[in-house]
């Protein structure tokens, strides 16, 4: 798989908390091939109950959904195409998560999303053009943000990802592609940008872990001391890792498994780190894993 990256950057500051949405709009892979507009100029609908959130998130057509207060979803809420789901203010909280399956053009913005039940806080499967911006994602019993099953053209920006419960042995933040081995549906897909995110307390791995996809990972801050690995890459992945700050973490970027993969690491700052800083080509094109 050939690395094909469209964007470059200079080293900037990092936004470390959920704040008002960035008015400059989406950058990275979610901005190409038609871009990501979510609900666009549709009239905003404020929701305060689970019933209203489910009805509007799953409805056909463009919707701008404003979440006010705290809503416990119990299980994952299915989100249809052409939606913006945005917090009313910094206190807007979802306990549970969202799921996308075969949809496109979705924006999640200015929300706290906390794990509840055996679900990801956000899961994208076979979905494209999704922008995750100014989110606080925490304490999922599975992944915090998993982008799998031939999903494509997505950007994760200005988010904080963390865990408060160290007894959870699945503190694995963000997955790109569901697994190694043969994943033919993922080939040529999974273009994902991660920029200006804060990988924070008690995350152990997958910040992100990339397989098959092309990931551009820049201007992120890594302060997840006691972790196993930050960025993992393998199984035909290409990862451009630029201008990130790694502080007190283990294995800032590490080749995983035996299958051919590439990482280009440049301009990163490493402060009191240990373990791997793998850079270049690794593995065998003929390996299985």
Q: Which of 158, 206, 209, 223 is catalytic?
A: 206
* Global pTM exceeds 0.85: yes
Confirm whether 15 is domain-assigned. no
Residue 274 domain flag: yes
> Is 206 marked active-site?
yes
Convert 125-159 to b/e letters by CB count within 10 Å (16 or more is b): bbbbbbbbbbbbbbbbebbbbbbbbbbbbbbbbbb
Inside any domain, residue 268: yes
- In this predicted structure, what is the pLDDT of residue 88? 99
End-to-end, the C-alpha distance of the chain in Å comes to: 16
Residues in the chain: 289
Read off the tokens for 169.
Answer: 């042995």
Q: Quickly state the pLDDT bin for 9 (edges 50, 70, 90).
A: very low
Q: How many CA atoms lie within 13 A of 135 on its CB side?
A: 27
Structural domain includes residue 76? yes
Q: How many domains does the chain have?
A: 1
- Do 133 and 113 meet the contact criterion of CB atoms below 8 Å apart? no
pLDDT of residue 14: 34
Residue 180 forms part of a structural domain: yes
Q: Does residue 161 belong to any structural domain of this protein?
A: yes
193-210, pLDDT tens digit by residue? 999 999 999 999 999 999
Q: Which domain holds residue 133?
A: 28-282
pLDDT in tens, 152-187: 999 999 999 999 988 888 899 999 998 766 678 899
- Residue 197: inside a domain, yes or no? yes
Q: Which of 23, 37, 14, 25 is nearest to 160 (CA)?
A: 14
Instruction: Read off the CATH number of the domain in which 267 is found.
Output: 2.160.20.10
From CA 185, how far away is CA 253, in angstroms rounded? 25
| CB atoms inside a 10 Å sphere around CB 19 | 11
- Residue 200 in any domain: the answer is yes
pLDDT digits (tens, 9 = 90+) for 75-89: 999 999 999 999 999
């Amino acid at each position: 798989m050939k690395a094909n990256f469209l964007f470059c950057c200079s080293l900037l500051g990092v936004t470390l908390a959920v704040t008002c949405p960035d008015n400059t709009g989406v950058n990275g892979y979610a901005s190409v091939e038609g871009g990501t507009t979510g609900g666009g100029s549709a009239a905003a609908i404020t929701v305060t109950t689970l019933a209203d959130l489910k009805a509007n998130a799953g409805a056909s057509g463009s919707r701008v959904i404003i979440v006010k207060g705290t809503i416990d979803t119990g299980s994952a809420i299915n989100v249809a195409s052409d939606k913006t789901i945005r917090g009313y203010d910094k206190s807007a909280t979802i306990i549970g998560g969202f799921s996308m399956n075969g949809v496109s053009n979705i924006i999640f913005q200015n929300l706290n999303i906390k794990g509840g039940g055996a679900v990801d806080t956000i899961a994208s499967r076979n979905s494209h053009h999704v922008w995750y911006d100014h989110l606080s994602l925490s304490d999922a019993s599975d992944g915090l943000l998993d982008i799998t099953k031939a999903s494509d053209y997505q950007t994760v920006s200005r988010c904080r990802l963390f865990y408060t419960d160290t007894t959870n042995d699945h503190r694995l933040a963000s997955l790109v592609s569901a697994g190694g081995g043969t994943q033919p549906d993922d080939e040529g897909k999974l273009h994902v940008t991660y920029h200006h995110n804060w990988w924070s307390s008690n995350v152990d791995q997958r910040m992100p872990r990339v397989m098959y996809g092309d990931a551009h990972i820049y201007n992120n801050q890594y302060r997840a001391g006691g972790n196993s690995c930050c960025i993992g890459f393998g199984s035909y992945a290409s990862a451009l890792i630029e201008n990130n700050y790694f502080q007190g973490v283990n294995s800032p970027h590490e080749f995983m498994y035996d299958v051919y993969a590439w990482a280009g690491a440049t301009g990163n700052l490493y402060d009191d780190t240990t373990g791997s800083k793998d850079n270049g080509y690794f593995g065998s094109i003929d390996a299985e894993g």
